[in-house]
Structure 1
């Protein structure tokens, strides 16, 4: 399923890397799905908390995890002062945006690269001038790039050896699992595929936590020797403490490295959080940077709607993620292009239906709307009332195709048929897709 591939690639709730490793450990092969016919202008699924690099490192510092010394600046003079204050042999300046590939990115100021190394602190100010306030475009950003508002000025450390380490929730083990490899700093999926013997796993008892023998065994499997083995084991236990403290679903460190000076350092980390724990983690979730979010997605989230913008012209209005993906696929099968993925969820109210229509009709690309509801928890009559209200108040000007099935469907069909609105009824999903595509063809 094409849309499933899009979701799979962008879902920040669990990284592809760790999931692939976990699947590999269970003997399953990693099948990667890529976009083919859908060209997504912006794929932005339900917004899980996604922290900037410096924010993740701050959380790690607070848990006693060893990271590089760093400062954060939002203007060039402060960046320069931070570089001088570090007093480091070498400094790394990193643009802070929620996208990968920063090192190979390009700024609209002309500066190439969102990551720069220098041994001269005075250079940092000039580099920061060309970063801050300018848009950085990488392979993971929209075409117009993302404006950089913050930079991280950090001590650059030499790395003698790189390893990979992660703690993640694994359904197969009914709890957290440590996953590690002595082959870090590279594509861990490739390691899992070509040399699975270099992937090590330790199942953690959620009540007991990480035992000393487990931490030491993982440190040894990662290749740490002598005093570094105990140091690495200590870092592993501290990372697990962080995992529990912030209600994480994953803490991934790549690389977990050792320096020539004999230090074990977490050089980079990706932390994913349990969205249901927001009520407990108010301080963490308050760090959420909404400035890079899609405005439509943010508006949808206010009404508990899950929205993904696509490049087509047929808006999809569906309840349930699986049904939404199937709807997008069948539209494509019949020669159409989905304009979005909009999931109403289960406990929908009329107001949500109305707000969903406002979002869909505000998109200038939308030339038709396909409503596909299979009512189990959802009452079809509520959907029908929301649809008629939206059509009248918003003066809907594009063709509307509706397929309803399930709870209270006869009452819903009566409401629609007696509304006097130009609504095209569909018998099933395929019929709905055909009629939506045909409606655009007639225009």
Structure 2
């Protein structure tokens, strides 16, 4: 079963809590703090694996959680870092954050990795908080929470050559003839509903990958039929073999078909419309005369397209076509595109905090820095609470809340905590 889309939930591991402890040794009645730090939470990492062909496994498992870091211990012993959670995906997988639609990764090479949820930092033990004024701090940080998000995975087939054309023009028959792939071939439209890859072997140990991709219909650029599925999969091919039914056996005009399909390509992507095409004039065995073929050749000559008359059923003309495509692949140069992105998930630069009013009138403070502070503070410990209050004053949150119109007794909400405002 070929599945080229999936939706999964990922959650990285929480950092381990820091330890609050003191030295207890003989003849050392007042040993200092020696609480160790918590371990790093596990990252969630997607790994491109050439042995994985589809996203079908994600139909049955959609929840992926990395393990938390170990807790710190006494004697300045650090907690154990959690192992990263590695998730294999097919080469050619594009990863987006579902909520923001941000591109997180484009895994186009075998072994390529992308961290899609970073593990939380381990909390610091009380050893870090000793000062000349406070030689016996009793508090330690809690571990930083991990990240969590829903992801959308989309697979774009990676092939050197793509077979382009309307349904039933003979694409599947060509692939069966020139490779070991076995796509279904029948006398009705849309026999191929999913991309099928085949390796074309040529003499002298030469080979390339060819894809038989679902047939295109009018309106594909707007998503009609298999539109976007079809177009998405040919985006990464280097060369296109445009298969046309030169016999007109189904009442089709090959020139008209050529113009319509290229019109759909141009509407979907300008880069896609510029891909090099080789014309395969199929079904020459059904021609009563060569009028239609000559008309097509003259038309393509004017546009600089090479035409190869072939018969996919008998194999006539296919060896010459494959050799020509190989020569094009040898000299192929990727078109530069400044918009192309690879594995480059860079978190957005967000302000330390923002304040807004919730529907219930509460003042909600958001931002990575303040949320991290709240999550890592132990509010049951008096010294930890006082430290939080000092940082609160340093960040001048009182001034910002007063500017927003906060009053005595109003509710302030940060992360999972609620406070009652007091001047």
> TM-score band, normalised by the shorter chain?
0.3 to 0.5
Could you tell me the TM-score, scaled by structure 2's length? 0.33
Could you tell me the TM-score, scaled by structure 1's length? 0.32
Structure in which a larger fraction of residues adopt helix = 1
- Work out which of the two has the higher radius of gyration on C-alpha atoms and give 1 or 2: 2
